[in-house]
Structure 1
Amino acid sequence: MSENFTALQVNRNEDKTFTRRIVQRNSDDLPAGELLVRVQYSSLNYKDALSASGHPGVTRNFPHTPGIDAAGQVVSCSDGRFQPGDKVIVTSYDLGMETDGGFGQLIRVPSAWAVALPDGLSLKQSMIFGTAGLTAALSVTALVDSGLTPDQGPVLVTGATGGVGSLAVTVLTRAGFQVTAATGKNSETDYLKRLGATNVISREEVTANSERPMLKPLWSGVVDCVGGTMLEAAIKACRYDGVVTCCGLVGSADLNLNVFPFILRGVRLIGIDSAECPMPRRLHAWQYLAENKDAKLLEQLSEEISLEGLEEKIQAMLKGQVKRRVVVRL
């Protein structure tokens, strides 16, 4: 049975500009998929702001409803994977890109895209984490599953004031690790220490002497959200048997590196992808977040808005003026 729902819709105009407005839509207009979900919460990510602005690298077909994250209750599921009323999380894949996303009160997607909400995690908390939190958890679980333990020494997080970096700091701290946070924003030292970082250093401290083939061994593990020279230096400064995860390229997509850290110190480099990662790994990451969350800190990390508040936050995000996680209440 069809029903009307409210959604943010982005339209492409004849002059190739884009406008956003809140509209009434009908569930019959949603794309094909086995799973219909009534969205209770979404979150605003930089990719959403790009989609809402008509960026062709994210979305090409309009009108469109952005929102790469969504959490809510199942309305129906034609293949029986979920039951009506089940609470689910949907992130990644094509949601919010070419498939209408979480900035609408209903989404219809393949049931294989959804994750059952883990015990101990609320729908709102899952969207405070969102794709950024999933990426952070995939990075942290890759370290832990590779044998890294808190007693082996400090873990470096680069790009620590960003969405993935800040959540990685909180999750690592909650799991008992000593975290050194690297940032280019010297004014954010107190903020990063509130997240749990034991030490805060500048990115220049990380990259100093990075032209050398090897650096003094400092880190037992690294969560790198930057790429480029930062990642090169972090790898060179890893201790023996260190583990490095890589999930970002804001610094550069290039990696100019020799093999010495790998063959002399046994350093391991693990790439992190949250868009298409296998479901068992995805489930493991969400469970890890549920078990290693700090509920009070999550609230401090986030702010809640309605659909009507999205326009202001989209503009602010495009200008780099959003620091806290923005949760959208549907």
Structure 2
Amino acid sequence: MNHSFKALQIIESADKQYTRAIVQRAIADLPVGDVLIKVHYSALNYKDALSSIGNKGVTKQFPHTPGIDAAGIVAASDSPAFKVDDEVIVTSYDLGMNTSGGLAEYISVPAKWIVKLPTGLSLKEAMIHGTAGLTAGLCVNALINHGLKPEQGKVLVTGSTGGVGTLSIAILAKLGFEVVAVTGKPEAVEFLKQIGVSEIVSREALDDQSSRPLLKSIYTGVIDTVGGNILATALKSLTYGGSAAICGLVASAELHTTVLPFILRGNTLFGIDSAECPMSLRESIWQKLASDWKPTDLTILAKEITLEEVPAQLDLMLQGKAFGKTIVKL
């Protein structure tokens, strides 16, 4: 297959400046992979925004095509696990980081990165979830497996207007949980209520500066995407036997706390990784996202743009002005 395809490309100049352009690439220039996929939809994530400004912690070599999410149809396969015309999902691993990513009409990837599209999800719906939905599902799964039930009380979601936060809220609301969202964006309040939030608290309210090791018990569960003192405050506010799932560091990678929430209230802290989680767990979560955990109306969680609109949307993400999910129709 020798024809060219359209892709977003990040180009590094001699003076370490980075520009974004929509270019034509050749399929022959893609990395060698077991499966060639014609991408129908991708989704924007903060890692894509970081890659687009040359963050070497995400992408080391340029020119590069970002996009850590992709959903599409198999165009060619050397793997017995996948055949031409199979509908598939690829998220995380190295896609879009140092491997040419989903913000392009084609990707070439190892078979071990691919999940078959589960019954109950369209390719578009799979990308409304994307890495963010998979991560949210892993968080919810950890809390429920620990024993979290709707009747036990409130569940707190930090970073509620980001992709993981948005999907976490939608999944929890579908399962009957009372969800409290943390946000500093007044313009997002109506959106958060629409997707299932029952109470909204400000960032300032979750930024305790008192140095007290424990606060009033409020939340039976926490899904945290921001880290730092907001996470520390949330941990101090868990009820007895409560649990928290953490998956991000938007505010800070540091966590200053004490052991007291854990040894006096029997709390549990789960670390969530969606990049390298085992395929068996990954497939299990996708099955749940396609069935019992599927929000009633996924389309209200995301807006759809074209590849040409991606650079401007990446700027909004970097400025902290985006909320909800953005999917890209290829």
Match of 1:77 in 2: 77
Match of 1:249 in 2: 249
- What is the one-letter code of the residue matched to 2:201? I
The equivalences for 1:115-134 within 5 A come to 115-134=115-134
Higher alpha-carbon deviation: 216-225 or 315-324? 315-324
Deviating runs (4+, > 6 A) in structure 1?
Answer: none
What is the DSSP-based 3-state SS (H/G/I as helix, E as strand, rest coil) of the residue aligned with 2:197? coil
Match of 1:212 in 2: 212
- Give me the TM-score of the superposition, normalised by structure 1: 0.94
Contact 1:141 1:288 in 2 (8 A): no
What is the DSSP-based 3-state SS (H/G/I as helix, E as strand, rest coil) of the residue aligned with 1:50? helix
Query: How far did 1:125 drift?
Result: 0.9
Contact 2:302 2:324 in 1 (8 A): yes
Match of 1:301 in 2: 301
User: Residue deviations 1:233-260, cap 9 Å, x none?
Assistant: 2112111211111111222222222222
Query: How far did 1:20 drift?
Result: 2.2
Q: Which runs of 5+ in 2 are unaligned?
A: none
Distance 1:90 1:36 in 2: 11
Query: How far did 1:200 drift?
Result: 1.0
Contact 2:36 2:74 in 1 (8 A): yes
Query: How far did 1:122 drift?
Result: 0.8
Q: 1:76 to 1:190 in 2, by over 3 A?
A: same
Query: How far did 1:187 drift?
Result: 4.2
Contact 1:186 1:202 in 2 (8 A): no
Higher alpha-carbon deviation: 129-138 or 286-295? 286-295
Q: Indicate whether 1:166 and 2:166 are aligned.
A: yes
User: Residue deviations 1:81-134, cap 9 Å, x none?
Assistant: 111111111010110111000011110111111111111111111111111111
Match of 2:227 in 1: 227
Query: How far did 1:321 drift?
Result: 2.5
Distance 2:177 2:3 in 1: 48
Distance 1:19 1:239 in 2: 49
- What is the one-letter code of the residue matched to 1:293? K
Distance 1:294 1:269 in 2: 26
Distance 2:137 2:122 in 1: 17
Distance 2:164 2:156 in 1: 13
Distance 1:306 1:199 in 2: 34
Distance 2:171 2:276 in 1: 22
The equivalences for 1:265-276 within 5 A come to 265-276=265-276
What is the DSSP-based 3-state SS (H/G/I as helix, E as strand, rest coil) of the residue aligned with 2:5? strand
Match of 2:203 in 1: 203
Contact 2:153 2:219 in 1 (8 A): yes
Q: Percent identity, aligned pairs only? A: 52
Number of residue pairs the alignment of both structures matches: 329
